[in-house]
Chain A
Amino acid sequence: NAGVTQTPKFQVLKTGQSMTLQCAQDMNHNSMYWYRQDPGMGLRLIYYSASEGTTDKGEVPNGYNVSRLNKREFSLRLESAAPSQTSVYFCASRELAGAYNEQFFGPGTRLTVL
């Protein structure tokens, strides 16, 4: 099993450009998440999807949109990138049934906005 995969691994954008970060998981998990991690900082939740067909805002949703394409895939879109969105983006997934389930992270996408 590949676990949680993300594409691309690295991306450089100019201010105002748009892009979509892709995430997929093969563990049949119901819940998926997008986090950002700024240098030397913790993990901040951008958006999440507790189950297929639902999405909700996290702590820092401004400037982002998400799509839960199906149970496996959860994408994050930046419509008009800003330098403040320079960060490492992690996707994660977790089973919904039961309360004590491990959350698995993808390898991350390192995004630089010039």
Chain B
Amino acid sequence: GENVEQHPSTLSVQEGDSAVIKCTYSDSASNYFPWYKQELGKRPQLIIDIRSNVGEKKDQRIAVTLNKTAKHFSLHITETQPEDSAVYFCAASPGWAAGNKLTFGGGTRVLVKP
């Protein structure tokens, strides 16, 4: 089955700096890569996703890049703000043939210091 590794496990940045989280996946059939943000005590919520036929996607201060050849994808947050403090999860999905499951990385706890 799919295996997703996520690094780093914790990340502390100064407000205004950039944050980068990296994930690698193992199943070359994976074609959908979402990123979820989980605030303390809340449910995970989708913040951005990318499909396998796209190399980069941007939404305001967040962007995701995908390298299918190397099987890795990254989340970039620019001009970080205190409200960006949360746990971020990457995930990969091989689609309906694998039960339509998402396989999640272990998570990155991001702390933005004012």
Interface assignment of A45: CB less than 8 Å from any CB of chain B = yes
- Taking CB atoms, residues of chain B closer than 8 Å to A100 are 31-32, 49, 51
Interface-facing stretch out of B13-21, B39-47, B61-69, B71-79: B39-47
Interface assignment of A114: CB less than 8 Å from any CB of chain B = no
- Taking CB atoms, residues of chain A closer than 8 Å to B99 are 31, 48, 50, 56
Q: Are A99 and B93 in touch, CB under 8 angstroms?
A: yes
Partner of A42, one of B31, B34, B100, B107: B107
Of B32, B93, B96, most A-chain CB atoms within 10 Å: B96
Q: Are B104 and A90 in touch, CB under 8 angstroms?
A: no
C-alpha gap A89/B100 in the complex (Å) = 20
Chain B residue at minimal CB-CB distance from A97: B96
- Taking CB atoms, residues of chain A closer than 8 Å to B102 are 94, 103
Interface-facing stretch out of A62-70, A75-83, A105-113: A105-113
User: Contacts A106-B43, A107-B43; is A42 near B105 (CB within 8 Å)?
Assistant: yes
Q: Are A90 and B43 in touch, CB under 8 angstroms?
A: yes
Interface assignment of B58: CB less than 8 Å from any CB of chain A = no
Q: Which residues of B contact A (CB under 8 A)?
A: 31-32, 34, 42-46, 49, 51, 89, 93, 95-96, 99-107
20 contacts between A and B (CB under 8 A): A31-B99, A31-B100, A42-B89, A42-B104, A42-B105, A42-B106, A43-B89, A43-B104, A43-B107, A45-B101, A48-B100, A58-B101, A96-B100, A99-B31, A101-B32, A102-B34, A103-B34, A105-B44, A106-B43, A107-B42
